[in-house]
Amino acid sequence: MDQHTVLRVEGICKKLDGKTILDNCSLTVNRGELKVLIGPSGAGKSTLLQSINCLIPPDSGEIYLEGCQLDRTDKVALCAFRTQVGMIFQDFNLFDHLTAEANVAIALRKVRGMKADEARSRAQEELARVGLARRTQLYPAQLSGGQKQRVAIARALAMDPKVILLDEPTSALDPELVGEVLAVIRDLASGGMTMVMATHQMDFARALATEILFMERGRIIEQGAPNVLLAEGSGTRTRDFCQRLLEMGA
Ligand SMILES: Nc1ncnc2c1ncn2[C@@H]1O[C@H](COP(=O)(O)OP(=O)(O)O)[C@@H](O)[C@H]1O
Ligand SMILES: [Mg+2]
């Protein structure tokens, strides 16, 4: 294994209700890379991201974190793995009855066993990092979608993850709020965070992806640098898909 490889996923397959959802998906993510998953709705992007941390257990395939193969049958190992692999969902998944600070602190207390004071101050630090220093005492209902997503990112960061998986983190947001969340993700990328992100934000992907993975019908059918896959005249499915998004005004 390359010493810079953080996450390696090998030959993931998944069937649901007898239908093939993931067909032999493999990917490698090196330290500091941002891999962007693109593809039509229903291609399997969410299923792939969720199989990587076994929220949806794959039928077959192997997952390696820093060269160590995950034993999915070992609950302790799976728990440890999940703390190191952050997950950001489209719809934030915050606890509505907890403040922003408590949403971040609860993981630090439960998973890291931190004392309340320590967890609170670490939560404040992480919230400041995503531009929410003055919003720590607000509840999700008092925050905009963009702010909620930034709380979710702060919560993931608080675990010191080795890699973060982001599943269309801006698709549930009003258009004017997309930018603030992308700005946070861009800062993470430039700070060297390792990430895999499903998105339809093609400008973002073009500017920041180390590599684009194009998925269709459960398979990764194209893979390459954005300037290669999206080049005019490249004749790639990725380029074609991107053009169609533009035509639809997405
Ligand atoms: N629980 C489920 N049972 C059966 N089929 C599912 C289930 N969840 C997702 N699917 C199907 O899996 C395919 C991939 O879905 P998904 O991973 O959500 O795609 P994407 O994120 O690329 O839009 C779709 O055809 C969807 O209908
Ligand atoms: Mg999806």
Say yes or no: CB of residue 145 within 6 Å of ligand 1.
Answer: no
Length of the chain (residues):
250
Q: Give the DSSP per-residue string, 15-78.
A: EETTEEEEEEEEEEEETT-EEEEE--TTSSHHHHHHHHTTSS--SEEEEEETTEEP-TT-HHHH
Please say whether the beta carbons of 156 and 164 come within 8 A: yes
Between CA 191 and CA 183 the distance in angstroms is 12
Say yes or no: CB of residue 47 within 6 Å of ligand 1.
Answer: yes
Query: Ligand 2 being an ion, which residues bring their Cβ within 5 A of it?
Result: 45-46
Residue whose CA is at the smallest distance from ligand 1 atom 9: 47
Say yes or no: CB of residue 11 within 6 Å of ligand 1.
Answer: no
Say what the pTM is: 0.95
**Strands laid side by side in the 19-30 sheet:** 19-30, 5-16, 60-65, 68-69
pLDDT at 67: 95
Which of 3.30.497.10, 3.40.630.10, 1.10.287.110, 3.40.50.300 is the CATH number of 5-247? Answer: 3.40.50.300
How many angstroms separate the Cα of 15 from the Cα of each of 80, 175, 216?
Answer: 26, 34, 15
How confident is the model over 72-104, as pLDDT tens digits? 999 999 999 999 999 999 999 999 999 999 999
CA–CA–CA angle 174, 175, 180 (5° rounding): 95
Phi/psi at 73 (nearest 5 deg)? -85, -10
Neighbours of 187 (CB within 10 A): 13
Please give the distance, rounded to the nearest whole angstrom, from the Cα atom of residue 113 to the centre of ligand 2. Answer: 33
Between CA 88 and CA 53 the distance in angstroms is 12
pLDDT at 2: 56
Give the pairing of strands 211-216 and 34-38: parallel
Say yes or no: CB of residue 200 within 6 Å of ligand 1.
Answer: no
Of 47, 166, 199, 215, best ligand 1 pocket probe by most atoms within 8 Å of the beta carbon = 47
| Ligand nearest to the CA of residue 214, numbered in listed order | 1
Between CA 102 and CA 122 the distance in angstroms is 11
Regions of the chain short of the pLDDT cut 70:
1-3, 250
pLDDT at 246: 85
Q: Which atom of ligand 1 is nearest to the CA of 39?
A: 22
pLDDT at 3: 63
Q: Which atom of ligand 1 is nearest to the CA of 41?
A: 23
CA–CA–CA angle 178, 181, 187 (5° rounding): 135
Q: Locate 172 and state its tokens.
A: 């549930």
